Structure 1
Amino acid sequence: MKLNVVPAKTGSLWVRQGIRAFWKQPLALTGLFFMFMASMSILSLVPMLGEFLALMLLPAITLGLMAATREVELGKFPMPFILAAGFRTGADGKRNMLVLGLIYALCFVGVMGLSTLVDGGDFANLYLGGGSLEMDTLMKPEFQNAMWLSMMLYLPLSLVFWHAPALTHWHGVPVAKSLFFSTVACLSNWRAFLVFGLMWALIFVATMFAITLIGSALGDGEFAAMAMLPAMLMLASMFFCSTYYSFKDCFTSDTLYA
């Protein structure tokens, strides 16, 4: 396995590849993403430890979505059990995936904990507890500062874990090395990832604007509310499809992914 440094335009290629893969199996991939979200929501309902357990499983399930994209690329139909691909390995693979999940959950909780120092925990309670967002709370400078701080801290966290589950699962890279190589790969290819992120941000914003505009043109106030959820589910599915291609281009190996 070796690291590749790709040109900036490759970021747009990842986006196109993810969208193209999605449309090969749109119902299956949207359904898998919905299962992913539903399982996280159900697990979060478990008292005390639910939220933490959901965070622990996040790296493994995102790997499952990447594995589903690989199945589609190979001309296969992604079955629901593909979401558990990270745990359908030997004892070492299962342990590494659990350790990755534990580290991710602890780091995420740490980010939320730091945000509580800014606003007393309003943003963390909203994000983790799923409470309702009131305009008065949103307009508080402390809440906005906590939100921006969390976003700034989560960006490097996401880079550290971007490739780590795939490196551990497909290449047998130990946990510490997978986190290190993921970070190096993202920093080495920051131009491509910048293009990748900007393109997806533009796609999400343009889609929301188009749905709102169509609703206004039709004079139907409920159209946007009804269309927004399935549209966002589809776009999120496409996004996770594209993450597989970012991994595939950032690393090469003589071993075929299993």
Structure 2
Amino acid sequence: MQARQLPAHRGWSWLKEGLLLWRKNPALMTFLAFGYLLTLVVVSIFPLIGQPIASLLMPVLSLGVLNGCRAIDEGRRAGPDVLFSGFRSNLQALVAIGGIYLIASLLVLASTMLADGGVLLKLMGGARMDPETAQSPGLTLALLIALTLSTPVIMAYWFAPLLAGWWKIPAPKAMFFSFFACLRNWRPFLAYAISLMLFGAVLPGMAIAVIGMVIPLGATLLSFLVPLVLVPTIFASFYINARDVFGLPGDAVHSAPLVVDDDEHG
């Protein structure tokens, strides 16, 4: 298993290829995406323990979505139960990844208290935002701190579930490899982020606004239909970039261990 270093233009293709994967089996792909989100929402409803359990389950369900995407990509038959297939593959490591991600996220939020005295933390907990709070310089600084510190956390998590599930790698090593794989591929990921912003938010929003000025009912209908396609397409694109960077188990080109070049990243 070796991480490829991809050219920047590959990042522009991930969302488009995600759409093509969705078109192969829209019913299953849509179920996987919204089933993942709904399961986490339902679990997180439970007081006190809901949010931590949802965080622990995230990598397990993520692997289920990736397994479903892989089945669609390879033309294999798969049913809705594939969403929960992560429970049968290196479950201990997957739960550990969720635990590490939860702790790291809490540390990031705790660090923002130095800038705003805990305002952002309260907002994340469901507190209402008044106009004075929204314009507070402390809140702006807290958001910048959260964005800066959460980026490496997300990088360490991004590929970790598939590395643990498909290659049976322990949680710390999977997150280590994921971080450096993202770092080596920052250019395509930057292009991917821009494409998500353009095609996932800006252009659909403009289209709905323009149609709404002419046919209000059409805009309402489009507001409902766009997420039904866009959300599973984005989930499918996660599989596409993972396949591009790490390949699939059994690929000869990815049989060597991932090597981190200290000179490159130091």
TM-score (norm 2): 0.84
Per the alignment, residue 210 of structure 1 pairs with 207
Matching residue of 1:139: 135
Please tell me whether the aligned partners of residues 115 and 121 of structure 1 are also in contact (alpha carbons under 8 angstroms): yes
Report the counterpart of residue 235 of structure 1 in structure 2.
230
**2: CA distance between counterparts of 1:36 and 1:195?**
26
- After alignment, is 225-234 or 51-60 more displaced? 225-234
Summarize deviations over 1:111-165 as a string: whole Å, max 9, x none.
Answer: 22222332233323333x3455554433333333322322222221111111111
Deviation (angstroms), 1:76: 3.6
* 3-state secondary structure, aligned to 1:8: coil
Q: Which amino acid letter does the alignment assign opposite residue 250 of structure 1?
A: V
Partner of 2:106: 109
Letter of the aligned partner of 1:206 in structure 2?
L
- Paired with 1:36 and 1:230, the residues of 2 have a C-alpha distance of 19
Aligned to 1:70: 70
How many correspondences in the alignment?
251
Q: Give me the whole-angstrom Cα distance separating, in 2, the residues matched to 1:27 and 1:149.
A: 40
Q: Name 2:160's counterpart in structure 1.
A: 164
Structure 1 gaps of 5+ residues are: none
Distance 1:95 1:112 in 2: 26
Task: Give the counterpart letter for 2:65 in structure 1.
Answer: L
Check conservation: 1:2, 1:253, Cα contact below 8 A: no
Q: Aligned equivalents of 1:235 and 1:62: distance in 2?
A: 17
CA distance in 2 between partners of 1:212 and 1:108 (Å): 35
The residue aligned with 1:32 is 32
Q: Report percent identity of matched pairs.
A: 30
Matches within 5 A, 1:1-258: 1-89=1-89, 93-127=90-124, 129-204=125-200, 205-218=202-215, 220=216, 227-228=222-223, 230-252=225-247, 255=250
- Contact 1:62–1:240 (8 Å) recurs in 2: no
Give the C-alpha shift of residue 82 in structure 1.
1.7
Q: Residues 80 and 246 from structure 1, CA distance in 2 versus in 1: closer, same or farther, beyond 3 angstroms?
A: same
* Offset of residue 63 of structure 1: 2.1
How far residue 75 of structure 1 moved from its aligned partner, in angstroms, is: 2.1
SS of the residue corresponding to residue 11 of structure 1 reads: helix
CA distance in 2, matches of 1:122, 1:225: 35
Instruction: Report the AA paired with residue 246 of structure 2.
Output: F
Q: Which runs of 5+ in 2 are unaligned?
A: 252-266
2:208·2:219 contact (CA, 8 Å) conserved in 1? yes
Contact 1:18 1:241 in 2 (8 A): yes
Query: Would the alpha carbon gap of residues 126 and 226 (structure 1) be closer, same or farther in structure 2, given more than 3 Å must change?
Result: farther
Residue by residue over 1:195-241, the C-alpha shift from the partner in whole angstroms, topping out at 9 and shown as x without a partner, is 111111111221122112211232x3x76566435423532221121
TM-superposition CA deviations, 1:75-112 (whole Å, max 9, x none) = 245422222222113xxx11111111110111111122
* 3-state SS of 2:6 partner: coil
TM-score using structure 1 length: 0.87
- Per-residue CA distance 1:159-199 (angstroms, 9 max, x = gap): 11111110111011122221111111111111111111111
- Structure-2 separation of matches of 1:216 and 1:132: 32
Do 1:64 and 1:82's aligned partners in 2 also have CA atoms closer than 8 Å?
A: yes
Bigger CA drift: 227-236 or 112-121? 227-236
SS in 1 for 2:24: coil
Note if contact 2:15-2:195 (Cα within 8 Å) is conserved in structure 1: yes
